[in-house]
Structure 1
């Protein structure tokens, strides 16, 4: 017994140092959520299933030509649902630069917003996995229609069923969509640029407050990161939070940004999806998709995300969709 006690005492400092080392380890990041190189992930949940809609990465200049969808029942194991939109096959106005998709559900349909040929398009399907069809035969927001680049769309469907489109690189744009989800009044577009804003806007609502998040720096820059602002209205004005960025790389994790946020249905549990440089050997053209928990303090401020914390298996509850 005495020998056991002495061994325990002798090992105590060593055990503590192991725990301390694990907490500060910045060399062993969690595995990516998806195999291979995918970026700009949009995470959503429909009917008890999670879905990821990323950019297909791996070409210098971001010259991808199609989009895929991935599904999961627990946020951890993902199934490739295949190509859901192929630009040369499905569009008449764009053949490459398939970037930064987003999805929204309304009217019993699924609306897929995406960047192509530095314009923004929309496609419609009856299921989250497609097939998606182009209802317009032209961009929803054409290249050079407003200031900055017409890329990186995101749509928020509010509690009252109203839908808002956010987009833009170099400048943030907001407009309320018409009831059909595929048109809007160009004269109603609001333009502004939060301090540090570059691209990848994403908006969500929590406890009556609207959070506008975006990526700062360039996606090829290891400093690429995510900041946020808040408002009492989906159209703003938005006030940048004092504590930013809330997502950034650390250690072996570089270029953490261009994200989306998901509230686990029926809970106040939140997940942030984002990309980082591929580990090892990644860069702004070879990025991988990751998922981490996202939390708030008691005042509703977003707490810094730990890029070394992976999500745990979490089932999605079935919650009735928002209806107008």
Structure 2
């Protein structure tokens, strides 16, 4: 059997009398009234089978910018997570992803870090795009530090905005990794980061500095790393990863609060392994809302199926749903 495609630029597909018709376009009241096609709700994208990116990637940061979805993952598959590059991917529908190449490489682009390009996050403000990232200090120092890079496009290239770390290793307890930026409706942006201890601070308008006196420790019980914050209907949701990324029990829990700073009430686990499907190590997530809707998606990594582990991971996307009382429903991971 063979198929052929045809274009009918002067015709319109419509439903009439329980049949599909390819009719000449007629701009008349009768023509429009005769068609029973109706737009009942905004179209929102749906995801295909996971993983959504080819190859080994982890720590995906998903965001909607300038009419497209973007994914910024950690490049995975390196011993001790020693990769140096960040890449960008974009999609109009969360199904087909376009690869935009390397947007920042610790080797040539960052003077103070040459390893451990982990868990990026991207935020837009003032017509520019800011990439927050962590990296191992140059000259073999394994201590992690946070940096920020800037670009005029979501796909870069990004350049180190400061020429030094935004958060230097040892400044605060816990490991300086896993940055995330949440911008509230009033335009104020907040930087969250840390493994073992979670901190938050309001960013200055330049998005590359903050007042150290305003740094707060908001570590919830069970927290390990990978904080992410959203707001919905006046409630703030703080989510994070529990356990170690090398464990099949790596998972996502959350709390709710009345402001980006809390106080926070822990609610429980929303994403975890499904051994019946061979899915393990579901964590280090991010969340995006389809514009103009109340439809949400969660991007996360898991052990590559079937034989992955804590350094061989892949990126998945599933629906994130809310219960009638505003709590988050348990996410069903899909193969």
TM-score interval, normalised by the smaller of the two chains:
0.7 to 0.9
The residue correspondences of 1:236-315 to structure 2 (distance < 5 A) are 236-241=262-267, 244-251=268-275, 252-308=278-334
1:143 aligns with 2:162: no
Tell me by how many angstroms 1:287 deviates: 0.3
Q: Alignment partner of 2:213: what SS?
A: helix
The residue correspondences of 1:152-301 to structure 2 (distance < 5 A) are 152-241=178-267, 244-251=268-275, 252-301=278-327
Cα distance in structure 2, aligned partners of 1:268 and 1:31: 22
Cα distance in structure 2, aligned partners of 1:308 and 1:277: 13
The residue correspondences of 1:90-109 to structure 2 (distance < 5 A) are 90-109=109-128
Q: Deviations over 1:246-276 (max 9, x none)?
A: 0011020000000000011111000000000
Assess if the C-alpha contact under 8 Å between 2:50 and 2:317 holds in 1: no
Q: Alignment partner of 1:220: what SS?
A: coil
The residue correspondences of 1:26-65 to structure 2 (distance < 5 A) are 30-65=49-84
Q: Deviations over 1:231-251 (max 9, x none)?
A: 11111111101xx21001102
Cα distance in structure 2, aligned partners of 1:104 and 1:31: 25
| Runs of 4 or more consecutive aligned structure 1 residues displaced over 3 Å after TM superposition | none
Cα distance in structure 1, aligned partners of 2:334 and 2:109: 39
Q: TM-score, normalised by structure 2?
A: 0.82
> Which has a greater percent of strand?
2
Q: TM-score, normalised by structure 1?
A: 0.85
Q: Deviations over 1:161-200 (max 9, x none)?
A: 1000000000000000011000001111001321100000
Cα distance in structure 2, aligned partners of 1:62 and 1:97: 6
Indicate the structure (1 or 2) with the bigger Cα radius of gyration.
Answer: 2
For structure 2, the residue ranges without an aligned partner over 5 or more in a row are: 1-47, 137-143
For structure 1, the residue ranges without an aligned partner over 5 or more in a row are: 1-28, 310-324
Cα distance in structure 1, aligned partners of 2:160 and 2:226: 23
Number of residue pairs the alignment of both structures matches? 279
Q: Deviations over 1:117-148 (max 9, x none)?
A: 11111001111001111110001111111010
Q: Deviations over 1:5-26 (max 9, x none)?
A: xxxxxxxxxxxxxxxxxxxxxx
Q: Deviations over 1:296-319 (max 9, x none)?
A: 01111000000027xxxxxxxxxx
Cα distance in structure 1, aligned partners of 2:273 and 2:49: 13
Assess if the C-alpha contact under 8 Å between 2:118 and 2:133 holds in 1: yes
Cα distance in structure 2, aligned partners of 1:126 and 1:196: 38
Cα distance in structure 1, aligned partners of 2:49 and 2:155: 27
1:125 aligns with 2:151: yes
Q: Alignment partner of 2:281: what SS?
A: coil
Cα distance in structure 2, aligned partners of 1:114 and 1:49: 22
